[in-house]
């Protein structure tokens, strides 16, 4: 079938160099978690911008269950035709398998990586009633009161970040785990928990209801440029960055992978996509295939060393 000239022009304008026929197939994105969470938010934003660069409709298929493993296990048996993609994450590929005493899945070895969609670094956040304004002050206070400072976590990554902080700083916090970010937000805003390792509280930080001391990432956040990293604050090695990546089944033809990578990368550069995600504390950094592999390899190595 001949592809209309206006579609070719649109593809070139959006930076998609592959032939339209290579990307113009309906795409289903499998979302391993229920509606209403971070994965759903990212998936919805993708579904808004991808049809233009893929020149094809995009459908979201929600398949929650077992911390994301229901969807991931089913996806591993998916036909490698490049028409069904997985929105994978640190939660579904790394922490969920670990919690089930399974080996973590490798987004490079077990799948065909298409694009790193966004990363979301955890911030070390405190209630303003806590008289600390730097990470060093928090560490000193925690050492003076071992096992006393009330800390809250909301998922496996924040639990891991809290343990990593305790180990690297040589402190002990009084950590309580909550069933999701909303429950922890209420406790933190009420002052019943004083410390958290979260990424969801950007509006409260900007409103002065909570105070961020550092971001647990290799670089600063554009939305909070004055917030130092943990390394800059004297605590190297404490990094907790969640990410969402689009993955194809292993064995997907290389030309299809390359076409999808270019089309998705063009979508990730759309200003409205970047603005929507950055407003929620996400970092959008479109990468080449090589850059994405290097990022994922580094991140996987960090979590394996610290687990």
**Domain boundaries along the sequence of the chain:** 5-121+241-306, 123-215
pLDDT for 6 beyond 70:
no
Lowest-pLDDT choice from 56-65, 270-279, 296-305:
296-305
β-strand pairing of 195-198 with 123-126: antiparallel
Q: How confident is the model at residue 95 (pLDDT cuts 50, 70, 90)?
A: confident
Evaluate if pTM is beyond 0.85.
no
**What is the pLDDT averaged over residues 70-85?**
95
Closest C-alpha to 248, from 80, 63, 44, 39: 80
Per-residue pLDDT tens over the stretch 29-51: 999 988 888 889 999 999 999 99
pLDDT for 5 beyond 70:
no
**What is the pLDDT averaged over residues 273-286?**
88
How far, in Å, CA of 98 to CA of 108, rounded? 18
Identify the pLDDT of residue 13: 41
Identify the pLDDT of residue 7: 39
pLDDT for 203 beyond 60:
yes
* Radius of gyration, alpha carbons of the chain: 20
Identify the pLDDT of residue 22: 56
Closest C-alpha to 116, from 87, 96, 94: 87
**What is the pLDDT averaged over residues 243-268?**
94
pLDDT for 9 beyond 50:
no
Identify the pLDDT of residue 274: 94
Identify the pLDDT of residue 18: 45
Phi/psi region, residue 232 (left: phi>0; alpha: psi -120 to 50; beta: rest), is alpha
Identify the pLDDT of residue 306: 63
pLDDT for 85 beyond 80:
yes
Q: According to CATH, what is the number of the domain 123-215? A: 3.40.190.10
Identify the pLDDT of residue 287: 78
pLDDT for 26 beyond 50:
yes
When mean pLDDT is compared over 41-50, 217-226, 296-305, the highest value belongs to 41-50
The CATH T-level fold of domain 5-121+241-306 is D-Maltodextrin-Binding Protein; domain 2 (3.40.190)
Alpha helices in the chain (DSSP H): 5-13, 20-23, 38-54, 69-75, 90, 96-99, 135-144, 156-169, 181-189, 202-206, 254-268, 271-278, 289-306
Identify the pLDDT of residue 17: 44
Q: Residue 112: beta bridge partners? A: 248
pLDDT for 186 beyond 50:
yes
Identify the pLDDT of residue 101: 72
Identify the pLDDT of residue 1: 41
Domains 5-121+241-306 and 123-215 share a fold: yes
pLDDT for 15 beyond 60:
no
Residue found by looking up tokens 């089913």 in the block: 74
The count of other CB atoms within 10 Å of the CB of residue 59 is 11
Lowest-pLDDT choice from 56-65, 127-136, 153-162, 201-210:
153-162
Per-residue pLDDT tens over the stretch 261-272: 999 999 999 999
Are the CB atoms for 259 and 201 separated by under 8 Å? no
Per-residue pLDDT tens over the stretch 156-180: 888 889 999 999 999 999 999 987 7
More confident residue, 280 or 229: 229
Closest C-alpha to 124, from 106, 136, 111, 108: 136
DSSP for 68-105 reads GHHHHHHHTTS-SSSSEEEEEEHIIIIIHHHHTT-PPP
Token pair of 173 as six digits: 């916090």
Lowest-pLDDT choice from 58-67, 99-108, 119-128:
99-108
């Amino acid at each position: 079938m001949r592809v209309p000239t206006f579609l070719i022009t649109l593809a070139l304008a959006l930076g998609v160099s592959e032939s339209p026929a290579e990307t113009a197939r309906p795409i289903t994105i499998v979302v391993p978690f229920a509606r209403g969470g971070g994965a759903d938010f990212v998936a919805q934003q993708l579904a808004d911008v991808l049809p233009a660069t893929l020149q094809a409709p995009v459908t979201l298929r929600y398949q929650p269950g077992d911390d994301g493993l229901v969807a991931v296990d089913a996806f591993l048996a998916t036909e490698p035709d490049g028409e069904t993609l997985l929105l994978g994450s640190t939660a579904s590929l790394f922490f969920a398998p670990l919690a089930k005493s399974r080996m973590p899945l490798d987004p490079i070895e077990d799948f065909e990586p298409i694009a790193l969609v966004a990363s979301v670094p955890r911030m070390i956040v405190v209630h303003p009633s806590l008289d600390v304004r730097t990470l060093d002050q928090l560490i000193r206070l925690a050492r003076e009161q071992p096992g006393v400072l009330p800390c809250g976590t909301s998922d496996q990554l924040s639990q891991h970040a809290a343990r990593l902080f305790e180990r690297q700083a040589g402190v002990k916090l009084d950590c309580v785990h909550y069933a999701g970010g909303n429950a922890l937000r209420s406790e933190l805003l009420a002052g019943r928990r004083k410390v958290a390792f979260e990424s969801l509280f950007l509006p409260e930080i900007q409103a002065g209801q909570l105070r961020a001391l550092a971001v647990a990432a290799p670089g600063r956040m554009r939305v909070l440029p004055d917030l130092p990293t943990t390394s800059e604050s004297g605590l190297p090695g404490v990094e907790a960055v969640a990410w969402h990546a689009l993955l194809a089944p292993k064995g997907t033809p290389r030309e299809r992978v390359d076409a999808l990578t270019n089309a998705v990368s063009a979508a990730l550069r759309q200003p409205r996509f970047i603005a929507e995600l950055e407003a929620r504390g996400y970092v959008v950094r479109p990468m080449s295939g090589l850059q994405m592999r290097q990022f994922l390899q580094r991140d996987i190595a960090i979590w394996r060393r610290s687990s």
